[in-house]
A and B are shown apart, each in its own frame.
Chain A
Amino acid sequence: MLRLPKFKYLAPQSIEEACSLLRKHGGQVKILAGGTDLLPSMKQKLFTPEYVLDLKQVPGLDKIESGADDEMKIGSICTLRMLEESPVIQKYYPALSEAAGLVAATQVRNMGTIGGNIALETRCRYFNQSNVWRKSVDKCIKRGGNVCHVVRGAKRCYAYFAADTVPVLLAFKAMIRVRDSQGERQCHLKEMYTHEGKNPNTLKPTEVITSVNIPLPESESGSCYEKFRIRKAINYPSVGVAVNVIMDGDTCKDLKIVLGAVGSGPIEVTEAEKLLKGNRVTEEAIEKIGSMAQKAAQPVENADATPAYRRKMAGVYAKRALRKAISRAGVPFHK
């Protein structure tokens, strides 16, 4: 039986209690939401926190609400299954329902949360291995050592960004709300990510994500998430592409394309956004955007499929996602 290392279990009954416990125990606590990333990693002795704080006992973090301030508020403990099946999300943010529904498998989506996906650890075939396996190689940068087994001479960790929902949330220009014992702060979700594999986000050990907030969709907007992985289920993305497009007839008013899994952070293909914004959508433009996405992807040899293939697929899937998103534009939002 593959067993967890020992820890003390904390089950706060309110968000205030959770924050106060996080403050008290500083960097000795790991937050448990769905547990589908944390517990397997702990079994592999990648993390051995003294405390595990179960956030699922805290009420009020599991709602999807359309707020008064022109935004959709999604509680951080909402499960991926909730997002996949929510009629509101399916209708107005189809890419988010798609992305949530493509994560892993049914069981993982019943347990896993959007907050957990936002704060997901980066991955690498030299990191996500058992204790015994890792003892046979030098300690890598992500483990606190000073060598990278993927990129020779690397000055930073190249573990890849594995979350499916984050590129979509970024394409929707999401804001994130984070809380600690001092209070709540809000920032653009994209400011959270460092593009570095060892510490992929700026969350402090004393902080908890409370919600992610997405602006209400404009009329004539369409979105899509495309995921490339070796198997049809279970796997993390080898490439993920999220597109959100706001149209005005056949002219593109605004475009966001974000790549996942091909870097240590989510990659916004800003060149593509500039190309199409304010212009008519033509086949030529879509082809150009495919090349831009391909160039923007920066995969290394630490996941399924070769870097060259993943770069190529970034282009292919970007074009697919863009075409689908454009065809979906035209769903007006009624409050």
Chain B
Amino acid sequence: MEKQVVTLKINGEECELAIYSHRTLLEVIREEVGLTGTKQACGLGACGACTVLVDGEAVLACSTLALSVQGKDIRTVEGLTEGKELSHLQKAFVEHWAIQCGFCTPGMLMSITGLLSKNPHPEEDEIKKSISGNLCRCTGYTKIIEAVKSVAERGNR
């Protein structure tokens, strides 16, 4: 089994990697690049914990082959912070108690970032729809939606 050398653009940085063809984007992000913010929960495309943005669209990294996203713009939760400063969305999550165990949080943030980049002032049902693929076992979603609303009203990412 031969590895292939590929270049993946992750959070604006070009990463040159040697990977097997059967590696998912999730495995490569976590294990080759070392960005462990993106999580595996179900591993089967049914929970959204592994959500990342590829060319601005929310996708499931666990069900994406790393080889198939060459040349695309990949963004993970680590790419949301601006230097050492949390983004407005991340701050809103903290302020509104939208985080309990935190495991769903990276996926939630990425799905919502995908929404806000297209629709900076979403209605409540649009917010709910954008996170309908992200399961949370702790919060009951209410505070997450509140956090997004607070950002949506301000019109910030």
Contacts and interface: CB of A to CB of B under 8 A. Distances in A.
A35 B22 contact: no
A8 B129 CA distance: 36
B58 A1 contact: no
B26 to A, nearest CB: 8
B37 interface: no
B132 A106 contact: yes
A12 interface: no
Interface of chain B, main secondary structure: mixed
B86 to A, nearest CB: 23
Interface in B14-66: 20-24, 26-27, 30-31, 40, 43-46, 48, 51, 57-60, 62-65
Contacts of B62: 2, 39
Residue among A2, A36, A52, A106 having the largest count of chain B Cβ atoms under 10 Å:
A106
A294 B57 CA distance: 39
A108 B64 CA distance: 11
A111 B65 contact: no
A111 B64 CA distance: 9
Interface string B104-131: 0000000100100000000000000110
Given A39-B24, A56-B68, A2 B44 contact: yes
Contacts of A8: 21
A32 interface: yes
A35 B67 CA distance: 13
B151 to A, nearest CB: 18
Given A3-B22, A6-B22, A106-B129, A36 B45 contact: yes
A8 B21 CA distance: 6
Interface string A33-44: 001100110011
A6 B57 CA distance: 28
A54 B44 CA distance: 19
Nearest to A34: B63
A120 to B, nearest CB: 13
A11 B111 CA distance: 28
A150 B106 CA distance: 39
A4 B68 CA distance: 15
B133 A107 contact: yes
A19 interface: no
Contacts of A2: 40, 43-44, 62
B129 A111 contact: no
A141 B41 CA distance: 30
Interface in B45-103: 45-46, 48, 51, 57-60, 62-65, 67-68
A283 B99 CA distance: 51
Contact of A32 (B45, B68, B130, B133): B68
A52 B45 contact: no
A11 B66 CA distance: 13
Contacts of B44: 2, 40, 43-44
Interface of A: 1-9, 11, 32, 35-36, 39-40, 43-44, 52, 54, 56-57, 81, 104-108, 110-111, 232-234
Closest A-B pairs by Cβ, 8 of them:
A105-B133, A2-B43, A9-B21, A233-B132, A40-B44, A110-B57, A4-B22, A39-B63
10 contacts: A2-B40, A4-B24, A9-B67, A32-B65, A39-B63, A54-B65, A105-B48, A106-B58, A107-B45, A107-B60
